[in-house]
């Protein structure tokens, strides 16, 4: 009787391991299929604030970021960076596949699809400094962006 119990336990463990490996492999393959597709890469450099209207931290960060976004693209050493705001609740297609774990999330994206999360201070000067550091130095923007 004890021999049958050991075989049953061993069989259950083997089946569990095989199921885990199968589902883990399936998830990895499907995850990599969409990664880096041409549609997910920005056409140029972008700096995006992903926000939710109900989020208190977003409401505090929004004025400075909106001021920068409204001033037009930031140009650093001839490289143009579009500054934009996206609400994943209103435009889920623009947030699909992005590493958004909470709100607000600030992501800088290169044309090659590289993503860097910004975690610094939430004001216009700090955003500009981050873009300068990412692209080089000497940002050229409209005068409104410096306010």
pLDDT in tens, 52-86: 999 999 999 999 999 999 999 999 888 999 999 99
* Distance, CA of 96 to CA of 88 (rounded, Å): 8
Q: Given this model, what pLDDT does residue 3 score?
A: 62
pLDDT confidence tier of residue 102, bands split at 50, 70 and 90: very high
Decide if pLDDT at 42 tops 70.
no
Instruction: List C-alpha distances in Å: 53 to 50, 92, 104, 122, 127.
Output: 10, 14, 10, 17, 20
pLDDT reading at 44 higher than 70 = yes
> Residue 22: which pLDDT band, with cuts at 50, 70 and 90?
low
State the pLDDT confidence band at 41, using cuts at 50, 70 and 90. low
Given its phi and psi angles, is residue 42 left (phi above 0), alpha (psi -120 to 50 degrees) or beta?
beta
Do residues 68 and 132 make contact, with C-beta atoms less than 8 angstroms apart?
Answer: no
Q: Which residue has the tokens 């435009």?
A: 91
**pLDDT of the residue at 27:** 42
Say whether pLDDT at 146 is over 50.
no
List, in order, residues 6 or more apart from 139 with CB less than 8 Å away.
74, 75, 76, 128, 131, 132
pLDDT computed for residue 5 by the predictor: 76
Lowest mean pLDDT among 32-36, 50-54, 100-104, 139-143: 32-36
The percentage of the chain sitting over the pLDDT mark of 90, rounded to a whole number, equals: 59
């Amino acid at each position: 009787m004890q021999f049958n119990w050991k075989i049953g336990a061993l069989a259950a463990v083997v089946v569990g391991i095989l199921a885990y490996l199968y589902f883990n492999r399936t998830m990895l393959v499907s995850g990599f299929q969409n990664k880096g597709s041409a549609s997910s890469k920005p056409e140029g450099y972008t700096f995006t604030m992903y926000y939710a209207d109900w989020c208190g931290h977003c409401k505090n960060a929004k004025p400075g970021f909106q001021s920068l976004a409204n001033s037009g693209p930031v140009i650093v050493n001839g490289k143009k960076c579009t500054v934009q705001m996206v609400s994943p609740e209103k435009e889920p297609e623009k947030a699909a596949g992005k590493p958004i774990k909470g709100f607000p999330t600030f992501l800088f994206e290169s044309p090659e699809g590289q993503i860097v999360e910004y975690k610094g201070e939430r004001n216009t000067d700090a955003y500009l400094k981050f873009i300068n550091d990412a692209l080089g130095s000497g940002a050229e923007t409209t005068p409104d962006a410096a306010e």
